[in-house]
Amino acid sequence: MNALLPEWLNPGPDEASFREMLAPDSRWTLELLAAQSRAITLRRFGRTMTLYAPLYLSNHCSSGCAYCGFASDRTTPRRRLEQEEIRKELAAMKRLGISDVLLLTGERTKAADFDYLRTSVATAAADMQRVTVEAFPMSVAEYRELAEAGCTGITIYQETYDRARYAELHRWGPKKDFLERLDTPSRALEGGIKTAGLGVLLGLADPQEDALMLYRHLRHLGKTYWRAGLSLSFPRIRPQTGSYQPPFTISDHLLARMIFAFRIALPDVELVLSTRESPAFRDGMAGLGITRMSIASRTTVGGYSDTESGDRGQFDIFDDRSAEAFCKALREKNIEPVFKNWEHAYNGPSSAEKS
């Protein structure tokens, strides 16, 4: 099966020390890694943390991912936000101080298709300083349209680079196509999206192997699309609707090791941690390697304006502190929370040389 993988996913000459840092029994103790990672983070990103929040536009989905609370065979009630509702959610988010929003949908469906997403991006870009998207894979032309509507970044997780495991977990729907998904960040950057965020869902497969593949993927994108901003997230499987039991347990120690190793190996890449993680882990990782965090998140559709809803979201949030409480914790650590770190003038597709 691996024979069909693109060449850039093969082991490269520059990954020996990264591989070594990932191994819990390496000469790199966790404490050594942490010190190095902290120094790099401080130098490169300073004492700041950029903040964003997710907005679930729709939980309609056409794929059957075994681990997901929104998979198409779940009994979860389905809905999508209409533009007026999106404006209402954005207004509620703005009251929390948020000006950097990540819009999410499931895999492509009739209810939440490309036109719906593009319209929603334009709606959000009118209100928010920065709009990024975590949705379904699109074509180069669609990504260009999305960039023109005001989307500056996309997040697309491969979930796992283990093809056999991938085939087993993605039971039906468009997400079943491993290679198509693997190629998605390239298409986005080709289409003029300015930043691409990668990640695997930690717990699905061997974490060290997946980390190596992520490293290769990021290096490949950086060399091929030299204007691209790159970011990397570290989602661990959380309890969710559907009660999937992951085959691998990712301890706090191993996750911390991965984050430090990536910071040292790729000093300039944005490393992201969401509210899936505990307050203690998030506060601890601030300043040690993570440079971007989500705050005050709701993972239900319509969760910001309807805070009373008993719906369960895509996954359960662990860090449920208010924006205010979270910022206070950051400030106590001598880190400045940064809500606005973008400007509308910088929206629009990134430009390749026009000949």
Partner 1 sequence: MDSLHLGSYTFSSRLILGTGKFSSSSVMLEAIKASGTGLVTVALRRFNREQPEDDLFTPLSAIPGITLMPNTSGASTAAEAVQAARISRELSGSPFIKVEIHPNPQHLMPDPIETYEASKILAKEGFLVMPYIPADPVLAKRLEEAGCASVMPLGSAIGSGQGLATAEMLRIIIRESNIPVIVDAGLRSPSEAALAMEMGCGAVLVNSAVAVAGDPPAMAEAFAEAVAAGRKAFRAGIMQKSGMAVATSPLTAFLGPAS
Binding site residues, partner 1, CB under 8 A: 42-48, 94, 97, 99, 129, 194-195, 222, 226-230, 268-269, 331, 334-343, 345-346, 348, 350-351
**CB-CB contact of 53 with 319 (8 Å):** no
Nearest to residue 66, comparing CAs of 238, 242, 210, 203? Answer: 242
Residue for token pair 């965020």: 197
Residue 79 Cα to chain centre, angstroms: 22
Least CB distance to partner 1 at residue 90 (A): 13
Nearest distance from C-beta of residue 79 to partner 1, angstroms: 29
| Pick 100 or 107: Cβ nearer partner 1 | 100
Q: How far is the CB of 284 from partner 1 (least distance, A)?
A: 17
Minimum separation from the CB atom of position 132 to partner 1 (A) = 13
**Cα(92)–Cα(55) distance, rounded to whole angstroms?**
11
8 A C-beta contact, residue 234 and residue 258: yes
Of 222 and 242, nearer to partner 1 (C-beta) is 222
We find the least distance from the C-beta atom of residue 311 to partner 1, in angstroms, to be 29
Rounded to the nearest whole angstrom, what is the least distance from the CB of residue 338 to partner 1 in the complex? 7
Q: Which of 315, 314, 262, 318 is nearest to 295 (CA)?
A: 318
Closer CB to partner 1, 49 or 255, in the complex:
49
Burial class (CB in 10 A: 0-12, 13-18, 19+), 307: exposed
Closest-CA residue to 30 (of 279, 264, 335): 264
> Considering beta carbons, is residue 153 or 303 the nearer one to partner 1?
153
Q: How far is the CB of 266 from partner 1 (least distance, A)?
A: 8
Buried b (16+ CB within 10 A) or exposed e, 2-21: eeeeeeeeeeeeeeeebbeb
Q: Which amino acid would we find at residue 194? A: K
Cβ distance to partner 1 smaller for residue 218 or 237:
218
Closer by beta carbon to partner 1, 159 or else 270: 270
Smallest distance, partner 1 to C-beta of residue 48, A: 6
Q: How buried is 247 (Cβ within 10 angstroms: 0-12 exposed, 13-18 middle, 19+ buried)?
A: exposed
Using the minimum distance from each CB to partner 1, give the nearer residue, 185 or 229: 229
Choice between 4 and 345, CB closer to partner 1:
345
Helices marked H in the chain: 16-22, 30-45, 83-95, 114-127, 140-148, 163-169, 178-182, 184-190, 207-224, 252-265, 279-285, 323-332
